[in-house]
Structure 1
């Protein structure tokens, strides 16, 4: 017998879930909690299936029958109503899924596998260059010309490295969406074909050792905050990468033993790195601790102390000092390598100080914890040589071959 409104309304819950049949596969499912759910029982390709049609009383008996009839029309066309319903849901979700929502999901998926510096840079570019322009656009509707215009704006301000990264990450975001089935294609492919040609630049430029006294004198007189000045001096004294320095938490430093231990997760080569600290570096860090020691990060951001100092801070300070195109934060690594190799220090000591891996993986693993004592002597001699240069003293050959 067909169901009636009265029978539905008066149906009471039982100890077990039960169903009241209507006609042509439609039934009302009454749960033990008293819920009343419309179901359509049908067969597709020889398999018994069940389709949810909504809950009573939000969906009336008449509406449930209409939904049943619509589903049976699909069956007559050899279309599975359950699969069709899922496809409609996916299409509706894709219409409201904005690029920002998709990009943040992509970021959250990849962030655990990235080095902190990479994760910080990716989020910065997303929030400053991508989201303000197309973040609110439905991801499935974004077209290639929009992405070309976005990248062109970045290129016009001559931020060619940013443009390259943005092209790369846009392609990855849409590939991620394509794999999830929420975008119809990847409009960010081949954006490099129309990329502006960046002028040739000297990679990681650096001054000569003889120019250091003038650079440090200008640094002392520069109109930048003291934390930036300390950061520049520490890059010179330790040869770490700028990202390793600006993201460093205080708990990595042991000033009593004059040692800085950077965990593998923060290193480019994903291998722990021990940095011996010359006396001059320890003095700088003690001074810095008086300024930022109450924060987790040694170099917190100026506006948001929970975030690291901007990656542009060091290079901007050097640029305002007149060293644009002549010296970068990363360039101090090249300066130290050149100077110490010229002095005849053991190449393995220098490479380990720079946290470069050995091409021989077995030898690299064996040497992982080696050379700390030798590097400590070498880096102290380097720091003393800089002091001697700045004092306009006669600098003797302090290096020894090994």
Structure 2
């Protein structure tokens, strides 16, 4: 069995463009650690995140091949990482606004109204992650009880999370109801009702 049997369907285009030219015509049982290392070496320092994803996807394909009987051994992914240079450290998270500056920022945020500005203020008020805010739907809110129940499927910890809402957060949700795009359940829709 050749890697090409799996690679076109399981690797995203950017990753298949990197791995497929080198490994696409090689039987999965014949793919060695040095072969994989050579694929990764080309992008390891220039595109570290892409290289890590390529490594992970190649490992997934080779582990599947091993589990399915197409390969005699598991993918040598740990050893491959040892044969590559140390990647540069990530820049880290975006800098947060100093807590003391938030009270001065909020009035500037309210100078113009848009879904983005309402969503940002709502995120500040609830301390929710941006994805939780962007994917919020109206049915998650109980305005009478002043609660926002985020289903476990949308939570990083995979557990339902209930957020108490302050009066200003309630006003933001009510304003979004007034602005509601027809047939869109998202509280903060992006352009043409898509997720922001």
Aligned mate of 1:210, from 78, 87, 100: 100
Determine if the alignment matches structure 1 residue 230 to structure 2 residue 118: yes
Q: Which residue of 2 aligns with 1:279?
A: 167
The 3-state SS of whatever aligns with 1:245 is helix
> Structure 1 residues 304, 293: CA separation in 2 closer, same or farther (over 3 Å shift)?
closer
**C-alpha displacement at 1:254, in angstroms?**
2.4
Q: Which residue of 1 aligns with 2:137?
A: 249
1:140-197 CA deviation, whole Å, 9 max, x = no partner?
Answer: 5674122333444423xxxx5x655554454334323332344676365433743422
Runs of 4+ in structure 1 off by over 6 angstroms are: none
Determine if the alignment matches structure 1 residue 196 to structure 2 residue 91: no
Q: Which residue of 2 aligns with 1:266?
A: 154
Instruction: Provide structure 2 residue ranges, at least 5 long, that are not aligned to the other structure.
Output: none
> Structure 1 residues 172, 234: CA separation in 2 closer, same or farther (over 3 Å shift)?
farther
Contact 1:175/1:186 (8 A) holds in 2: yes
Q: Which residue of 2 aligns with 1:146?
A: 39
1:265-301 CA deviation, whole Å, 9 max, x = no partner?
Answer: 3222232211111121122123333244622333445
Q: Which residue of 2 aligns with 1:172?
A: 60
The 3-state SS of whatever aligns with 2:149 is strand
Q: Which residue of 1 aligns with 2:15?
A: 130
User: Structure 1 or 2: larger strand share?
Assistant: 1
> Structure 1 residues 138, 148: CA separation in 2 closer, same or farther (over 3 Å shift)?
same
Q: Distance in 2 between matches of 1:139 and 1:272?
A: 46
Q: Distance in 2 between matches of 1:247 and 1:297?
A: 6
Aligned mate of 1:240, from 117, 128, 145: 128
The 3-state SS of whatever aligns with 2:96 is coil
> Structure 1 residues 199, 265: CA separation in 2 closer, same or farther (over 3 Å shift)?
closer
The CA RMSD over aligned residues, in Å, is: 3.7
Aligned mate of 1:100, from 1, 4, 8: 8
Contact 1:247/1:297 (8 A) holds in 2: yes
Contact 1:260/1:275 (8 A) holds in 2: yes
Q: Distance in 1 between matches of 2:137 and 2:20?
A: 32
Across the two proteins, how many residue pairs are aligned to each other?
A: 184
> Structure 1 residues 295, 304: CA separation in 2 closer, same or farther (over 3 Å shift)?
closer
Instruction: Provide structure 1 residue ranges, at least 5 long, that are not aligned to the other structure.
Output: 1-90, 104-125, 310-402
Q: Distance in 1 between matches of 2:169 and 2:138?
A: 14
Q: What TM-score do you get using the length of structure 1 for normalisation? A: 0.38
Greater RCO (Cα-Cα under 8 Å, separation 6 or more): 2
Contact 2:63/2:75 (8 A) holds in 1: yes
Q: Distance in 2 between matches of 1:131 and 1:299?
A: 35
The 3-state SS of whatever aligns with 2:162 is strand
Contact 2:184/2:193 (8 A) holds in 1: no
Structure showing greater Rg: 1
Deviates more, 1:270-279 or 1:282-291: 282-291
